[in-house]
Amino acid sequence: MGDLTRLTAADLGALIASGEASAVEVTQAHLDRIGKVDESIHAYLHVDTEGALTAAAAVDSARKIGSPLGPLAGVPLALKDVLTQEGIPTTCGSKILEGWRPPYDSTVVRKLRAAGVVILGKANMDEFAMGSSTENSAYGPTRNPWDLDRIPGGSSGGSSAAVAAFTAPLAIGTDTGGSIRQPAAVCGIVGAKPTYGGVSRYGLVAFSSSLDQAGPFARTVLDAALLHEAIAGHDPLDSTSIDAAVPPVVAAARQADVRGMRIGVVRELSGEGYQSGVETRFAEAVELLNSLGAEVVEVSCPNFDYAMAAYYLIAPSEASSNLARFDAMRYGLRVGDDGTAGVEEVMSRTRAAGFGPEVKRRIILGTYALSAGYYDAYYGSAQKVRTLISRDFDAAFAQVDVLVSPTAPTTAFPIGDKVDDPLAMYLQDLCTIPSNLAGNCAMSVPVGLAPEDGLPVGLQIMAPAMADDRLYRVGAALETALRERTGQLLIEGAPPL
């Protein structure tokens, strides 16, 4: 079997189901790997060794008595620390929730348990999912396994780094403006943002309620599809959950054929500001799709130019409302409660001490945008732009089956390089934000290394709402063709730690 940490999730599931490897063996191998490398990477905030081994033993017991096992039963996973897991610390990367242990499971966690997935622990993240580098975590930055001096993307950087470092074959992230796809791109793995409402948000600590969406990280498109299928579906506990069948993502990943498909290259998502190596690998991947039988055309989405401005009014506005609940009165951090301070003083001291600079910045932006006299000029106008972006997508998808672009304008940048320049940091989500604003699905797949720095590049695939299967069909076809060309998956060539 070799090194169990180097196998795909699909292969691990098959070994466990056949009895060739036990879930406990697989879990222990990944726990050992965490012990070996995570001090350098800091992908995990909490490792639940006892809980993981107990869950793995339950899978082995079920197999021994002949209970049917799902394709991911016994397969380990890293869980972004923004999803509640009963009794396990959930901090959202923030001091204001330090030590909080939720009394309930999120729906995503409940579905993972039902599928027999073994949750190894909670992955590091930008505080309250606000950031593109995981440098905004109150517990220190995560490092990119390809280059420990560089960022792993954000806000789900702990999740992406865990998969890229082989400390988990699967991970869950959340994507509000690109926080699954951008980390996947810079870590050389697969990451998908499902259709908004396709995966329940119950138990997902909200940043921006109309944008947040949980989704899978994996090292192959098929593995991502298997995880997507496990966590998706209607949930009556989430009022935004779509009551419809889960798109056939696993079947599409196994189809891996783009013949007869029309693929649109978005004109507005390229050009000035894009690293040359990113554009080179993207252009090569588009040519490869064309050679596989897809028809490639250029498509214009003119209102995408306004997506970032609209996003940075809508998301902070919703954040300012959602984060008002962290008031020191019910749970989490409480500062200055010395018996003499009033309620408002304790709230003020706690929020000042508990929130980091980026969270405070966005709360202030959002509160201003929602304030009397400015609501229509800022928040209201941004919502109108959101409508225009959705119409651009509708017009584009009337012509093509999917749209493609680079996932991020650059490869992973050095830690500390952009911390003092918020606008430069925000530009990392230039390509990913439109899909969040429209509620469509999108995916990043690795397409090689940039020639100038040897770091991973991702290609973004975008599809209409509830057409998530198209992402996996195109992504798997591209992955298969690249593998045949190079003889290996990109992630297999990652520098050893």
CA quadruple 471, 472, 478, 479: dihedral sign: positive
CA quadruple 269, 186, 216, 355: dihedral sign: negative
Q: Under DSSP, is residue 181 helix (H, G, I), strand (E, B) or coil?
A: helix
- For 281-295, give one letter per residue: b (16+ CB within 10 A) or e: bbeebbebbeebebe
Longest CA–CA span in the chain (Å) reads: 73
- Cβ-proximal residues to 243 (8 Å cutoff; 6+ apart), any chain: 234
Q: Under DSSP, is residue 379 helix (H, G, I), strand (E, B) or coil?
A: helix
Residue 155 among the catalytic residues = yes
Catalytic option among 22, 80, 160, 241: 80
Question: In what side-by-side order are the strands of the sheet with 118-123?
Answer: 44-47, 118-123, 76-80, 170-174, 214-218, 190-193, 441-449, 456-463, 402-406, 262-266, 295-299
Tell me the DSSP string of 394-459. HHHHTT-SEEEEESSSSSPPBTTSSTT-HHHHHGGGTTTHHHHHHT-EEEEEEEEE-TTT--EEEE
DSSP H/E element including 170: strand 170-174
Q: Under DSSP, is residue 47 helix (H, G, I), strand (E, B) or coil?
A: strand
CA-based nearest residue to 169, from 243, 222, 101: 222
CA quadruple 112, 114, 115, 120: dihedral sign: positive
Task: For residue 457, give the amino acid letter.
Answer: V
Residue 418 among the catalytic residues = no
Catalytic option among 106, 155, 241, 435: 155
Catalytic option among 106, 179, 241, 317: 179
Residue 179 among the catalytic residues = yes
Q: Name the token pair of 383.
A: 């919502």
Tell me the DSSP string of 356-378. -HHHHHHHHHHHHHTSTTTTIII
Residues taking part in catalysis: 80, 155, 179
